[in-house]
Structure 1
Amino acid sequence: MMIKTKVALAVLAAGLSSQVLAVELGEFNGTKFNLGGYLKAETVFDRPDDRKNTVEGSVRQSRFNLGTSSMVEGHKVRGFIEGDFWDNNTSSDSSYAWRLRHAYINIDNVTVGQTWNGQFFANAPFDTEMINFWGLGIGTIAGNGAPIRPDLVVHYTTNGWRFTLQDPVYSNADVPDAVVAYTRRTQSGHAFNVALTGREVDTTPTVDSDDQSDYGAAISLATKLKFGDTSLSLSAFTGEGAGVYAGWGYLGNTGPSGVTEVDSNGDMVTLTGFSAGIGHKFSDKLRANLRYGQVHSDKSALSEDTIQQTTVNMIYTYLPQVELGIELRDQNAANRPPSSQGTSARPAGSQVELMAMYKF
């Protein structure tokens, strides 16, 4: 779907789960400039199953973005760059470094640069709202936050179709990772998406001197149904080569290099996942969301072949641009181990997150 407004562009880049504002800076030489982002303070209480309880606080997720918009020879040209302070993740240093999140050019219905991958667009607009920062929730084909913004992505959109080529996760791949998706929206507010994904998979990941590979493909379905102040989200996917994007695989997941898409015999692993969630707006100030998701591997080297995650949150709009929230998370296996540190860890066990966000 072609992005048509500046506000929609800001929402898209900052995360489709929250309303983001943008401040117009003015127009210079025919180009409009705007500034957006948010400041966010968060505290995460970890209650893992296999180690001691911890608490971590941070404002590193805070971000700033600059957008431009102009007409050039009859073409709508937009630019967008955004960063946050997620680098230098050590427990002894709070002087976190600037990290590039988005940097892309959009000309009419073509987007090129670093931004969301095709799997994200096939799921995020149809998912249940989460405070969770590490990508989408478990259960979707976009549930792993590590490769969610590849170094280079090309999107082409037309009449509900989105065609995506992106920098491959497998470093010796001969072809880009690819996504073809179609979205259908109804006048009543319902939305449906079907997506096909494909990528080249390293079939001998323990051998660095060869480039033996196979091609894995998966299908993803997602929908969001609107019933007044209540929304119902459902998604499902199945296929091969999806572990690095879904956040699970033969050896679980510790990031893009921690997922093994093939078993000990070099055969590709088939993953099947689903998610279901419900969101309700109690008033103009208060909303709540409940979500469950899981991903099952048909082959596993771990004690768990299925990862499950439950999320429930409540978000209160204290002021028009200020939100306060609490989220409870529970999952049966770690897909971000303790070495992730800080608020990005996703251990086996439960978490409670408190947040305050000021959007501008």
Structure 2
Amino acid sequence: MNYGNSLIALAITSCLSAAPAAQAVDLGTYNDTSFSIGGFVKAEGIFEDPETGDSRFFGRANQTRFNLKTVTQKQGHTVVGFVEGDFYGGDFPGEDNDWRLRHAFIKIDNVTVGQTWTGQFWAVAHTDYLDFLGGPRGTLAGLNFRTTLASYEFAGFRVTAQDPIYNNADIPDLAVNYNLNLDGGHKIILTASGREVDNGDFVAGGAIGAQFMFDRHSLNLNAHYGEGLGAFSGVGVNGSMSDDVENGDAVSQTGLNAGFRYVFNAQWRANIAYTKVEVDDQADSNYEGHRVNLIHNIIPELEVGVEWRKHSLVFGPLIPEGQQVEVMAKYSF
């Protein structure tokens, strides 16, 4: 396995950008360890028209992030360290600008330990959204969930044991992914998820993600079904997102997501996406999401874009029910 490429892939997934990836800044090598920094600066302006309350326009730069990566090759082993943070910390996310830890992990050959994406996050074939915070909502990457975990990769499989969401759980949350890479750039991701919920039951669910390439363009499809999945999709019982139990029983949900990316040329691309989740609870806590965007790369490292989106549920102060229009500029390094 090429571990340098694996970390580059992680950075690309973190940014969710289909633009050519800017290489991290190489700081040099000392005692068999290479050091580099990367990240991006992003400024965005958002017009918000919620279903309830007043319309408003506001700007923010909280999504700006920085990371440090080290790679040590010694005695037949490759050891990677990765630390990344952004400015979504504080008591009022989106208003406070406190530093927040996103990732802090060590990768030793095929084993990863530390804080990073859940195995459920890796179940998703991602579409190119401007708003990463709410972009994958309704898929198993919906809450951008990062947790302390240990995972092992082999022969296309990734097996992950995670810090449990239910505080009194007796076992870790679990996920198993299988990646099948096909000719022409097509790929299929199969995922099994299991965790203990707050009634003490161990519940399970599954997901499939797929990316189909049509020359430069791509179609991404995702589906999930099962119990205990609201903690990851961000859609749950009575709109409470991570609560997957109602009246003492685990609640199931079904989710579908489709996104299409059209690449006009090396400078211009557009994306359209639709998400639908149905929750088997008394309130029918269902969700629909719609997105359309247009992105322009002025240079490979600098992109600007505009995105219209609509959510049918409230996801906290940053993602209200209703419509948003975002304009943004992002400089990656």
Map 1:161-176 onto structure 2 (within 5 A).
161-176=157-172
Q: Which residue of 2 aligns with 1:250?
A: 237
- Give the AA of the match of 1:306: N
Q: How big is each residue's C-alpha offset from its partner over 1:307-336, in whole Å with a ceiling of 9 and x where there is no partner?
A: 0001111110012210001111012221x1
Q: Which residue of 2 aligns with 1:351?
A: 324
1:171–1:321 Cα change, 3 Å: same
Is the counterpart of residue 305 in structure 1 residue 292 in structure 2?
Answer: no
1:46–1:89 Cα change, 3 Å: farther
TM-score by length of 1: 0.87
Once residues 153 and 2 of structure 2 are traced to their aligned partners in structure 1, the CA distance between those partners, rounded to angstroms, is 6
% identity of equivalent residues: 40
Larger mean Cα displacement after TM superposition, 8-17 or 104-113: 8-17
Q: How big is each residue's C-alpha offset from its partner over 1:253-278, in whole Å with a ceiling of 9 and x where there is no partner?
A: 3xxxx5321222x1111100000111
1:167–1:136 Cα change, 3 Å: farther
Q: Which residue of 2 aligns with 1:132?
A: 131
- Give the AA of the match of 2:163: D
Once residues 157 and 215 of structure 2 are traced to their aligned partners in structure 1, the CA distance between those partners, rounded to angstroms, is 27
The 3-state SS of whatever aligns with 2:189 is strand
How many correspondences in the alignment?
331
Once residues 32 and 246 of structure 2 are traced to their aligned partners in structure 1, the CA distance between those partners, rounded to angstroms, is 56
The 3-state SS of whatever aligns with 2:258 is strand
1:12–1:283 Cα change, 3 Å: closer
Runs of 4 or more consecutive aligned structure 1 residues displaced over 6 Å after TM superposition: none
- Give the AA of the match of 2:301: Q
1:261–1:92 Cα change, 3 Å: closer
Q: How big is each residue's C-alpha offset from its partner over 1:211-253, in whole Å with a ceiling of 9 and x where there is no partner?
A: xx11110010110000102101111110001111111111213
Once residues 101 and 60 of structure 1 are traced to their aligned partners in structure 2, the CA distance between those partners, rounded to angstroms, is 13
- Give the AA of the match of 1:314: L
2:202 to 210, 215, 218: 215
Contact between 2:3 and 2:78, CA under 8 Å: does it hold in 1?
no
Contact between 1:136 and 1:144, CA under 8 Å: does it hold in 2?
no
Q: Which residue of 2 aligns with 1:114?
A: 115
**How far 1:21 moved relative to its partner?**
2.6
Map 1:311-330 onto structure 2 (within 5 A).
311-330=291-310
Map 1:79-98 onto structure 2 (within 5 A).
79-88=81-90, 90=92, 96-98=97-99
Once residues 184 and 309 of structure 1 are traced to their aligned partners in structure 2, the CA distance between those partners, rounded to angstroms, is 28
What are structure 1's unaligned runs of at least 5 residues?
204-212
The 3-state SS of whatever aligns with 1:118 is coil
**How far 1:89 moved relative to its partner?**
5.2
**How far 1:2 moved relative to its partner?**
6.5
Once residues 261 and 2 of structure 1 are traced to their aligned partners in structure 2, the CA distance between those partners, rounded to angstroms, is 38
1:12–1:159 Cα change, 3 Å: farther
- Give the AA of the match of 2:299: L
1:331 to 306, 311, 323: 311
Is the counterpart of residue 149 in structure 1 residue 146 in structure 2?
Answer: yes
- Give the AA of the match of 2:86: D
Q: How big is each residue's C-alpha offset from its partner over 1:16-65, in whole Å with a ceiling of 9 and x where there is no partner?
A: 44534301000111110001011100111111011110222111111111
Map 1:39-54 onto structure 2 (within 5 A).
39-54=41-56
Once residues 160 and 181 of structure 1 are traced to their aligned partners in structure 2, the CA distance between those partners, rounded to angstroms, is 8
Q: Which residue of 2 aligns with 1:208?
A: none
**How far 1:90 moved relative to its partner?**
4.1
**How far 1:6 moved relative to its partner?**
7.0
